[in-house]
Amino acid sequence: MTEDVAIPEDHPRHDSLVTRHRIEAGVDKGITSRQGLIAQGRGEAFDYLLGEETIPSADEAERTAAAALLLAERPVLSVNGNVAALVPGEMVELADTVGAALEVNLFNRTPERMQAIVGHLEAHGATDVKGLAADARIPGLDHERATVDADGIYDADVVLVPLEDGDRAEALGAMGKTEIVIDLNPLSRSAQVATIPIVDNLIRAIPRMTEHARALADRDESDLQSILDSFDRDAALTAAEARIRSGAGRAPTDSA
């Protein structure tokens, strides 16, 4: 990505530093809000404790999420400012692989940011990005975060909501949607209310979901449903919390 900077590949925190610079670049471009910087730092702390790697329970959740998206009739991938800054091309690739729509949805919503993110996604190959119609609202929420497209998130049966705030995640679940949440904190309300909680870094989770979706693309519906039915969300959250509490995955020392 053009936002990447020259960081030695052998730096012990290479991926973390690259991610920080992508968020900074997102703020400069008007894609990411300044509050997104704080959210990134909070997530990075949990990723450090996880060892900055995809643990087995997260990989299982990512495979389950891929199966759910392939089974869906109206899958939608939600994109906020941090997601757009970190994995725009990867989100487009996942959407293309599972036949999902992309929809921009923001907590700090302005016409300028919406247009900037839509344009950024289009520059990475997206077409027909949703979010600008803003002709429906998620029940039970106030503020602009409730604003969605009627033929997008509002009507979706399966929604991927990376880096989501807890009450919006809860409201989407109350609408009866299969909700996939990516959140590095297994104790967050977003992860706790998700149908499929993925405790992993977004920059690892999205490409792995795409890999799993490609591997599962030729499976019949019964096989995909079996993957979905056998997933134990509580066990996945417990495994992530245990990994964090044990300190077994503590990442290399940050010398930045």
Closest C-alpha to 55, from 254, 253, 237: 237
The whole-model pTM stands at 0.87
Q: Give residue 256's pLDDT.
A: 45
How much is the pLDDT for 28?
66
Contact status, residue 89 vs residue 61, Cβ threshold 8 Å: no
The per-residue pLDDT for 74 is: 98
| Residue-wise pLDDT tens digits, 19-63 | 765 766 666 676 776 665 556 656 677 888 898 899 999 999 999
Give the closest residue to 178 by CA, choosing from 163, 156, 162: 156
Give the Cα separation of 11 and 9 in Å (integer): 6
pLDDT given for residue 16 in this prediction: 63
Low-confidence ranges of the chain (pLDDT < 50): 1-3, 254-256
**Inter-CA distances, 169 with 72, 160, 181, Å:** 18, 10, 8
- 34-50 and 233-246 helices, crossing angle to 10°: 80
Residue type, 212: H
Digit-coded pLDDT (tens) for 85-103: 899 999 999 999 999 999 9
Give the pLDDT of residue 164. Answer: 74
